[in-house]
Structure 1
Amino acid sequence: MELGNTREVMYVQNIYNQILKKRNANAKYRATLIPGDGIGPEVVGSTIQAIEATGVYFDWDIKNAGTSVIPVYNTPLPDDLIASIQKTKLALKGPVTTPKEEGFRSVNVGLRQEFDLYSNLRPAKLFDGVKSRYGLVDLVVVRENTEDLYIGVEFAAGSQEANDLISKTKKIKEGSSISLKSLSYPACERIVRFAFDYAKENDRRKVTVVTKSNIVKNEKMFLDAFKNVSEDYKDIKKGSALIDALCMDLVMDPGKYDVLVLPNLYGDIVSDLCAGLVGGLGYAPSLNIGKDTIIAEAVHGSFPEGAGRNIANPIGMMLSGSLMLGRMGEKKAAKCLEDAVIEVLREENLVNEEGFTDTLKITDVIISKINKFNR
């Protein structure tokens, strides 16, 4: 069985073939395309059509990850996918399902660690036409993406490593399972600097560091890095918040904050909270950024129950594509795609209260808007 024969890849390959038939120019960029599974191929298919409509053409190298490729490679993260991204340095990735069985690592975490994608950029902006409890919400979560509890150094209860730590520390209860939380100063410093650079480049007014450093003492390193780096950005306001107080504040008055920079675990949790403020995960984009590699992905999961039913909301994936274009320097195309999404959400009632839509219809309407802007 070849990877190209999987249902998910064939779905996106067929869409890409149709794009190639209509294209009247050569591709400007080569990138890796990861359809994912569940609703992934549908939202990815919508997104590559919308990107194509902006006039920025890609030569997509279609590879896949997740549960659908395990029968082929015995892993959800195949070597040929890694090799493709090593060459292209750029990927658009649909949501993937990580198997629950032991022995398989998360595809998302694996990719972030493999390519040192240290910054996870997750804007949360409320658009007109999207139902929410709030009025104006315009937040940016900058999540450190490589350290913290996500390093995956864990010891099962009863293991020799766990027993040794229990014996050495005298503070851990017998029979405990243990996960290690590590932070390094260079990683803290670079993510904080990324947050300030992003704020400066995008005319954001304030950066707030979020920790639980009053209790979790190794997080003082994150706070120290913030204090040191912030000295280089005199024109940007600075703030500090404890993670628990921040969550309360975001629910009560999200307008108090602008750019948030957080360690990995808190960033993961808070970004989903922020998505809830702006209509849900279906509207939440994400960009993973390293020194020389970018992977754009939607925040939402693969939702296997919705696969093939034409109900998936592609907005989060499309906005991720817009972020990718902007990071590549294709500012005009990025704005065109985002503006088309914004106008469709404002003018059309195509997403129901449960977050479902007619995937094909909303895709066509957004592409029509892009074509209108490009005339």
Structure 2
Amino acid sequence: MHVVVLPGDGIGPEITTATSQVLRAASEQFQLGLVLDEHAVGHASLARFGTTVRPDLLGLVKAADGLILGPTATFDFKDEARGEINPSRHFRKSLDLFANIRPARTYPGRTNRVGDFDLVVVRENTEGFYADRNMEEGNAELRVTPDVVISMRRITRPCCERIAEVACQLAMKRRKHLTIVHKANVLRMGDGMFLDICKATASRYPELAVDEVLVDAAMAHVVREPGRFDVLVTTNMFGDILSDLTAELSGSLGLGGALNMGADHAMAQAAHGSAPDIAGRGIANPVSLILSAALLLDWHGTRTRQPRFVSAAAAIEAAVADAIGQGQSTQDIGGSLGTAEAAAAITARLQA
């Protein structure tokens, strides 16, 4: 398996190095033959090549079996004419990575204020309110007057159908419970269509238990009783917010894995940002990117029918859980280890 690795900005290089270490251990243990091909992206690429994403990088990624993207300083990149391309948006849009899979779970051995849970937010990833990705040309935010801005939201039937299908298939592999999160009482046309399509898609899976909840109520229910949920499917911005909440409820945003997947490509990406305030200090939690990389292995193994990749992914997740349960983790979740030491603790479990 050939994987392009883009370390990114801030803490990106630190957690990417940690993730690569874990992946190499998994590769050796499960005979995966992983080839990790590292390239600069973000500020490092801008300084070296005059652009945050050099033109030939997309071709390299398309030719590979997967992509690992470390956190990048997206807020810094405002002018594409000056080479300031948002790497995350660039790859999500260019590779049509329409599904953002965001698991969140609690871990035995850690005190949790909301009770145990294990859920997945399935987020549509290519349209919605995101002004930089829902237009063929131009931007979906318009300044009408100095004091008036209009932000347009795009919802399409094909995008609703494919994200609903992914969510149903995932729910069938888990506890067979699908929750549709929407705001159709206010956004009657857009979310109304999303809700109808999700229901129609789910009707083809008679074993699924299906319910629906308004997004504001969903936030309250997730905080009060997250264990009631299994797979939640929703539109782009709602999913962005909801998945950060569920990751944080599990103990830290640093525990939230994320996979951006399409029909032919997938990108592992940490749920959090580049955290420049702690960059270079060796204290960043690498678990989010490690779990994201495990999701990438599982995706590749499933689509290519190679069970050893699926087994490797499960082993990484188990090693992470055991390390956290034994308190061998970074400070943000109650441990005392640094980034490299936390990765070593996970690696040691894979090698045992």
TM-score, with length taken from structure 1: 0.84
RMSD (CA atoms)? 1.7
Tell me the amino acid that sits aligned with residue 161 of structure 2: E
In the TM superposition, residue 351 of structure 1 has moved relative to its aligned partner by 2.6
- Give the alignment of 1:190-269 within 5 angstroms: 190-200=162-172, 202-217=173-188, 218-269=190-241
Tell whether the 8 Å contact from 1:127 to 1:345 is kept in structure 2 after alignment. yes
Moved more, 83-92 or 109-118: 83-92
Tell whether the 8 Å contact from 2:283 to 2:330 is kept in structure 1 after alignment. no
Local SS of the residue matching 1:181: coil
- Give the alignment of 1:85-164 within 5 angstroms: 85-100=61-76, 102-103=78-79, 104-152=84-132, 153-157=139-143, 162=144
Local SS of the residue matching 2:113: coil
2:313 equivalent in structure 1: 334
Deviations 1:174-212 (A, max 9, x none): 831122100100100100010001111x23221111111
Structure 2 vs 1, CA of residues 304 and 353 (structure 1 numbering), >3 Å: closer, same or farther? closer
In the TM superposition, residue 139 of structure 1 has moved relative to its aligned partner by 1.0
Aligned mates of 1:36, 1:353 — CA distance in 2: 21
In the TM superposition, residue 357 of structure 1 has moved relative to its aligned partner by 3.7
Local SS of the residue matching 1:44: helix
Structure 2 vs 1, CA of residues 93 and 241 (structure 1 numbering), >3 Å: closer, same or farther? same
Local SS of the residue matching 2:102: strand
Deviations 1:268-308 (A, max 9, x none): 00000101110111100000101100101110111112222
In the TM superposition, residue 155 of structure 1 has moved relative to its aligned partner by 3.8
Aligned mates of 1:47, 1:124 — CA distance in 2: 19
Tell me the amino acid that sits aligned with residue 126 of structure 1: T
2:25 equivalent in structure 1: 53
Structure 2 vs 1, CA of residues 66 and 233 (structure 1 numbering), >3 Å: closer, same or farther? same
* Mapped pair 1:40 → 2:12: yes
Unpaired runs of at least 5, structure 1: 1-28, 164-173
Unpaired runs of at least 5, structure 2: 133-138, 302-308
Aligned mates of 1:127, 1:287 — CA distance in 2: 20
Tell whether the 8 Å contact from 1:310 to 1:357 is kept in structure 2 after alignment. no
Tell whether the 8 Å contact from 1:131 to 1:353 is kept in structure 2 after alignment. no
Deviations 1:208-230 (A, max 9, x none): 11111110122111011112101
Query: Percent identity over the alignment?
Result: 34
1:175 equivalent in structure 2: 147
Aligned mates of 1:345, 1:266 — CA distance in 2: 29
In the TM superposition, residue 105 of structure 1 has moved relative to its aligned partner by 4.6
* Mapped pair 1:288 → 2:264: no
Local SS of the residue matching 1:134: coil
TM-score, with length taken from structure 2: 0.89
2:288 equivalent in structure 1: 316
Deviations 1:20-45 (A, max 9, x none): xxxxxxxxx11211111111111111
Local SS of the residue matching 1:122: strand
